[in-house]
């Protein structure tokens, strides 16, 4: 069966930007703002789609992902630390540190689970393709638990609408894994492959999110695609972007019916940037499919 492709005018560049690595997009329903980060740029952004205004907040370190807090403000992962950050006051509170014994590791992507716990993982930098990373769970009382080891570039994480399944990307295993998820204890079981990307096509899986129908949207970096997998791991449709490195995605808008997509320009050559000048920008696609609202950290 042919896979439906969304492209061209149906993919809007809503913010032309030159982010080095635009990541961790997340929609704040009450503020009606899209938050996102530029990892290498050490920036948190807050974008208003209604007027096109993008506010920028500078951090003293790499900022690799973000989550909202029920108490207000943000929970961030920096290079090796969790931190609370209030964009409006500029207050930054450093929390737990990980992997001090691994100087070349850093945090990458992360997401809050349905019970308000924050999950974030590490990767080798620059050894992206080595099994040196770990996946951590950060609870509301700031207890830190290592949940998985030997990770090859920890990336997109999300949960099924019923909260019983967790999806987790290891970019350079070229796979999205799925676990049985115990919501009461926050434990994982029965790891198995959900979907794989053939490395011969020149792509690897990156950020992901799950819509209200239980389908998985996954960025494929290198070929500028976001694919929608059905719950059995079959590609149901895909979005083709005008940039090769679309790295993060999240649902937002008043009806949660818009998929926002961030992109990167890291390691691209001058010729590649000339061919894809919108690299580093933010895109939006209206899909006729609703997403799930972002959960907030319960601490």
Kindly list the catalytic residues.
206
Q: 39 in helix, strand or coil?
A: coil
Residue 294 contacts residue 34 (beta carbons within 8 Å): no
294 CB-contact burial (10 Å; exposed 0-12 / middle 13-18 / buried 19+) = buried
169, β-bridge pairs: 176
Q: 196 in helix, strand or coil?
A: strand
What H or E segment, with its residue span, contains residue 274? Answer: helix 270-275
Other CB atoms within 10 Å distance of the CB of residue 88: 10
Residue 263 contacts residue 28 (beta carbons within 8 Å): no
Residues 59, 119, 128, 270: what is their CA dihedral angle, to the nearest 10 degrees? -50
């Amino acid at each position: 069966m042919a896979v439906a492709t969304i492209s061209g005018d149906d993919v809007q560049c809503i913010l032309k930007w030159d982010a080095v690595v635009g990541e961790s997009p997340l929609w704040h329903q009450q503020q009606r703002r899209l938050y996102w980060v530029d990892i290498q740029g050490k920036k948190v952004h807050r974008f208003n789609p209604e007027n096109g205004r993008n506010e920028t907040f500078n951090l003293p370190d790499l900022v690799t992902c973000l989550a909202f807090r029920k108490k207000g403000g943000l929970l961030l992962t920096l290079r090796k630390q969790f931190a609370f950050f209030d964009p409006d006051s500029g207050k930054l509170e450093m929390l737990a540190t990980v992997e001090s014994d691994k100087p070349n590791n850093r945090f990458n992507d992360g997401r809050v689970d349905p019970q308000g716990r924050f999950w974030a993982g590490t990767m080798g930098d620059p050894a992206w393709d080595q099994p040196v990373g770990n996946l951590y769970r950060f609870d509301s009382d700031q207890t830190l638990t290592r949940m998985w080891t030997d990770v090859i570039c920890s990336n997109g994480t999300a949960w099924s609408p019923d909260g019983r399944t967790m999806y987790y990307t290891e970019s350079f295993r070229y796979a999205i894994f799925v676990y049985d998820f115990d919501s009461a204890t926050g434990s994982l079981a029965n790891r198995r492959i959900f979907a794989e990307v053939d490395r011969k096509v020149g792509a690897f899986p990156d950020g992901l999110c799950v819509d209200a129908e239980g389908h998985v949207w996954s960025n494929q970096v290198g070929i500028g695609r976001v694919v929608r997998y059905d719950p059995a791991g079959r590609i149901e449709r895909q979005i083709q972007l005008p940039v090769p490195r679309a790295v993060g995605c999240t649902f937002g808008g008043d009806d949660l019916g818009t998929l926002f997509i961030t992109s990167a320009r890291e390691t691209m050559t001058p010729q590649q940037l000339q061919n894809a000048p919108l690299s580093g920008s933010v895109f939006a696609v209206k899909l006729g499919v609703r997403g799930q609202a972002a959960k907030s950290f319960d601490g």
